[in-house]
Structure 1
Amino acid sequence: VYHYREGLAYYLGFKSDKTQYEKAEAKRISDVRNYQVLENHEGKAIGLDVSEFQGTVDWTLVKTIENSYPLEFVFIRATAGNDKVDGQFKNNWLGAQKSKIIRGAYHYYRPNENSLEQAELFINTVQLQKGDLPPVLDIEKLPKEQSLKNMKLGLSRWLKAIEAHYKVKPIIYTSEKYYDDFLKEEFSDYLFWIANYNFYREKIGDDWLFWQFTEKASVPGIKGNVDVNIYNGDVEQLRFIAVE
């Protein structure tokens, strides 16, 4: 119970003055949970997502997690807002391809910036090839300079512009709460990649395409922590949703 409580407090950010022991305990609990979640999803495709925050990735070493589960796919941040190209996008995009990991690109959406300019930046940055995953819209923040209604209109414009260009329907990434509160009804035509790191969640949601279940995994070839994701199907089914 102590370990569970302390681990939960770590994830929810209740403790700001953690000792080294407490940090080590939280990391150990995180590792145990990661293994248990992976074990619960035997046969599902496992992947990760990266950006410049992971620094330079050695893609020749990115093969498995927990030395047991092959990493089949990766989502790579390409752009953010209307002016930011991820500093490691090119290296990650080519590195994943050389390592034969199924790759996809995502855009971090800034609600207070022009949606079509954001779509244009993504289009000018990302050239999808056969076998790549559909584009992803990452939405995490609420607007500060416009209404929620106008933000949703902007999201819709981005999604439609991307679909028109790539001829494939994009995927939406967000947290479970954001999905339930703001997107579930209006964007029900889209498939979702959901982030939920809570200890109570042990299985992927039936209506989730991907589940980002941790942000604190360790993977060879990547310095520091990395996000790990589960696809709601096996690797052959994952290839089925790829760009043709």
Structure 2
Amino acid sequence: MTYKIQRHKSITKRKSNSKRKWIFYLISLVLLLFVAIGIYKFRDGFLYYLGFKTNKNIATLSKEERKLADIRIYEVLHKHDDKAIGFDVSEYQSKIDWEQTYHIDEAFELSFVFIRATAGKNKIDTRFKENWKGAKERQIIRGAYHYYRPNENSLEQAENFITTVKLQKGDLPPVLDIEKLPKSQSIDSLKVGLRRWLKKVEKHYKVKPIIYSGESYYTDFLKKEFSDYPLWIANYNFWRNDLESDWLFWQFTEKAQIQGIEGMVDINIFNGDTNKLLLKCIR
């Protein structure tokens, strides 16, 4: 009797172990599948990195992080090589050698740049004037943006931008950069302020401004009321490879390297080629 019980326990234990092994194998298979999909999805980027990249690195990223960033950047740009590619800068990029800012890794031409002009009701970017002039001399399509501070007067912020930025023929429309939620007012009050800024700036420049925001922020708080404005969306999702049809610009990374600029830079893709981009400029 004891022997039968022990034998039964032994068989049960073997079945349990076998079941755990199958679960382990299944999980391992799923993980390997995800890895394989990832490698296939970014195969051009991996091949590019293995074949052509050097050991250049920057202090803010580890070597592995730098490698992954370069792979993603190459893969996305390679997929959209029929579209206009650009970047955006502010005083945080320090002094820029504009004569060096023609390509990313000598493979992708840079056609446009957005430059921070102002923030809030009284902040002027300390390098806006030199960047604005440098971009003009570089003969790259340029645009200026305002960083909106939700807890400051919207009309004073619009006036700050208007006083600072003198748009010319061939420049991109003005941009309102909204990323933060208000601390001392409601979302409805924020929307009223944004609308006032947009209306005042549009009246002054005679062109509809572009709204820049993160995809989640825009979807959650702005889409319902502001879908009639051109969009510049930030989305750094590693698995996203394409723009939505209603995105005018897509900022897909903040980790690019451009010759002539210290540190990391945001890269943007326009939803069309350079000829279509020129049609969006002030005439």
- Does TM, normalized by the shorter one, top 0.5? yes
Higher strand proportion, which one? 1
Name the amino acid aligned to 1:211: W
Please give the secondary structure, in 2, of the residue aligned with 1:243: coil
In structure 2, the residue matched to 1:202 is 241
In structure 2, the residue matched to 1:17 is none
Is 1:167–2:206 an aligned residue pair?
Answer: yes
Give the C-alpha shift of residue 204 in structure 1: 1.2
Is 1:216–2:260 an aligned residue pair?
Answer: no
In structure 1, the residue matched to 2:151 is 112
In structure 2, the residue matched to 1:226 is 265
In structure 2, the residue matched to 1:32 is 71
Residues in 2 aligned to 1:128 and 1:71: alpha-carbon distance in whole angstroms: 21
Name the amino acid aligned to 1:52: E
Pairs within 5 Å for 1:122-161: 122-161=161-200
Residues in 2 aligned to 1:53 and 1:215: alpha-carbon distance in whole angstroms: 13
Segments of 4+ in structure 1 off by > 2 A? none
Please give the secondary structure, in 2, of the residue aligned with 1:233: coil
Give the C-alpha shift of residue 42 in structure 1: 1.5
Pairs within 5 Å for 1:10-159: 23-159=62-198
In structure 2, the residue matched to 1:11 is none
Name the amino acid aligned to 1:100: Q
Please give the secondary structure, in 2, of the residue aligned with 1:60: helix
Name the amino acid aligned to 2:136: Q
Bigger RCO (CA 8 Å, 6+ sep): 1
Give the C-alpha shift of residue 66 in structure 1: 2.1
In structure 2, the residue matched to 1:14 is none
Residues in 1 aligned to 2:130 and 2:265: alpha-carbon distance in whole angstroms: 17
Is 1:190–2:229 an aligned residue pair?
Answer: yes
Q: Give the root-mean-square deviation of aligned CA atoms.
A: 1.3
Higher helix proportion, which one? 2
Residues in 2 aligned to 1:161 and 1:196: alpha-carbon distance in whole angstroms: 28
Structure 1: unaligned runs, 5 residues or longer: 5-19
Structure 2: unaligned runs, 5 residues or longer: 1-34, 39-58
Identical aligned pairs, as a percentage?
62
Residues in 1 aligned to 2:131 and 2:70: alpha-carbon distance in whole angstroms: 25
Highest Rg: 1 or 2?
2
Residues in 1 aligned to 2:104 and 2:252: alpha-carbon distance in whole angstroms: 13
Residues in 1 aligned to 2:226 and 2:71: alpha-carbon distance in whole angstroms: 35
Residues in 2 aligned to 1:36 and 1:205: alpha-carbon distance in whole angstroms: 18
